[in-house]
Amino acid sequence: MSTSTKTRNESASGLKQKPAASAGKGDAMNYKAWVAKAAKQPMVLETVDLGPLGVEDVEVAVEHCGLCHSDISVFNNEWGISQYPAILGHEVTGRVTAIGPNAKGLKVGQRVGIGWNSGSCMHCHQCLSGSHNLCPQVQMTIVGHRGAFASHVRAHWAWTIPLPEKLNVADAGPLFCGGVTVFTPLAMYAKPTDRVGIIGIGGLGHMAVKFAAAYGCDVTAFTSRESQFDEAKGFGANHVLTTKDSAAIKKLGGSFDLLISTVNVKLDWDAIIGLLAPNGRLHVVGAVLEPIPVAAFSLIMQQRSVSGSPGGSPVTIATMLDFAARHNVLPETEHFPMSNINEAFARLESGKAHYRIVLDADFSSA
């Protein structure tokens, strides 16, 4: 990889290496990982050398790792930021196997998770104010860093989040990326008395419906597929509408306090913004690549807002996990052995996945 874990930690801390606490794992040990050699090329199983553990880093033996649409985007270099060879995977649950001497708050054997980010500078204004995910040097887990479609993955201790005991470890992985992505706007902008609309009931949207319903909001799910109506209500939606019914959507004009768009396709943005109540907000978490045109007067006259957010900080992730454990919020998942990774990628990319895919580590049998 072009930026190794070792390089990041030496440049970030400048501290002399000390022995790491471990569960019998040597620093020179070789690990296994599924490696993408180039864009859109099948991943191959290889042995990788992670090098010495950074002084503030934690090593985690991967048990399960969710397959997110962002993995597809980086795999295909859709965003133009991919670096190859790449080890993807950023919705991790597993157990700590080694801890750098300056890492804090964790212990070997503890069950933890890692999400979209694996590190940040820890000294900028954003980090010091608790918005680590907005750090200008934030380290994405799968770009310039080895991800978790592997036997082991490493991250800074602050980004290695303890998993509440009540959460099912096998299904919790997608919470660390998709879950916190939709939880963040609810935590920032929603009240239990609000009318909240979720646009798109897919891998992100179905978790947004569950979180918003658990929060007490009046939830409307917008989907292009009428076949999802019953499932959306089962996730907690009070109302379900098809985005193809323009007349029904028009009747709801000016009624939503918060709309969360989870889709990555072009929408009728004027109509969407027209759904917002005075002081309402459209929050975008779906990575639509085309610009979103906004008419200034539709915002000004009703004091509406348009915003977005990139995942969440370590504290937000921990808060989300506690909320999910308390309200039994988990993603809908289907599981594949990690050795079937290429088939799982094809299933997600074809649109056949039933909400979220989770890969179960099976390196011992490889």
Work out the pLDDT band at 8, boundaries 50, 70, 90. Answer: very low
* Residues 49 and 129 occupy one common structural domain: yes
- How do residues 259-290 score in pLDDT, each as one tens digit? 999 998 888 899 999 999 999 999 999 988 88
Q: Among 12-26, 70-84, 185-199, 209-223, where is mean pLDDT lowest?
A: 12-26
- How do residues 192-245 score in pLDDT, each as one tens digit? 999 999 999 999 999 999 999 999 999 999 998 888 999 999 999 999 999 888
Give the model's pLDDT for residue 25: 46
Give the model's pLDDT for residue 24: 43
Calculate what percentage of the chain has a pLDDT beyond 70.
92
Asked whether residue 9 carries a pLDDT value surpassing 60, the answer given is no
> In the 3-class helix/strand/coil scheme, how is the chain assigned residue by residue?
CCCCHHHHHHHHHCCCCCCCEECCCCCCCEEEEEEECCCCCCCEEEEEECCCCCCCEEEEEEEEEEECHHHHHHHCCCCCCCCCCECCCCCEEEEEEEECCCCCCCCCCCEEEECCEEECCCCCHHHHCCCHHHCCCCEECCCCCCCCCECEEEEEHHHCEECCCCCCCCCCHHHHCHHHHHHHHHHHHCCCCCEEEEECCCCCHHHHHHHHHHHCCEEEEEECCHHHHHHHHHCCCCEEEECCCHHHHHHCCCCEEEEEECCCCCCCHHHHHHCEEEEEEEEECCCCCCCCCCCHHHHHCCCCEEEECCCCCHHHHHHHHHHHHHHCCCCCEEEEEHHHHHHHHHHHHCCCCCCEEEEECCHHHC
* Residues 41 and 134 occupy one common structural domain: yes
Give the model's pLDDT for residue 261: 96
* Residues 291 and 322 occupy one common structural domain: no
* Residues 133 and 236 occupy one common structural domain: no
Asked whether residue 3 carries a pLDDT value surpassing 70, the answer given is no
Q: Which residues contact 263 (CB under 8 A, 6 or more apart)?
A: 199, 200, 202, 205, 286, 288
Asked whether residue 134 carries a pLDDT value surpassing 90, the answer given is yes
Q: Among 55-59, 230-234, 291-295, where is mean pLDDT lowest?
A: 291-295
Give the model's pLDDT for residue 165: 95
CATH of the domain at 133: 3.90.180.10
Look at the chain and report how many structural domains it folds into: 2
Give the model's pLDDT for residue 1: 35
Give the model's pLDDT for residue 174: 98
Question: What is the mean predicted confidence (pLDDT) over 126-136?
Answer: 97
Mean pLDDT, the chain, integer: 92
Give the model's pLDDT for residue 70: 95
Work out the pLDDT band at 29, boundaries 50, 70, 90. Answer: low
Question: What is the mean predicted confidence (pLDDT) over 69-79?
Answer: 96
Work out the pLDDT band at 4, boundaries 50, 70, 90. Answer: very low
* Residues 198 and 157 occupy one common structural domain: no
* Residues 9 and 107 occupy one common structural domain: yes
Compute the distance between CA of residue 341 and CA of residue 349 in angstroms, rounded to an integer: 12
Compute the distance between CA of residue 251 and CA of residue 266 in angstroms, rounded to an integer: 22
CATH of the domain at 182: 3.40.50.720
Domain region containing 13: 5-177+312-365
* Residues 99 and 111 occupy one common structural domain: yes
**Final residue before a domain boundary, out of 308, 326, 344:** 308
Compute the distance between CA of residue 339 and CA of residue 357 in angstroms, rounded to an integer: 14
Work out the pLDDT band at 324, boundaries 50, 70, 90. Answer: very high
**Final residue before a domain boundary, out of 308, 333, 351:** 308
Instruction: List C-alpha distances in Å: 343 to 3, 336, 338.
Output: 28, 9, 10
* Residues 13 and 117 occupy one common structural domain: yes
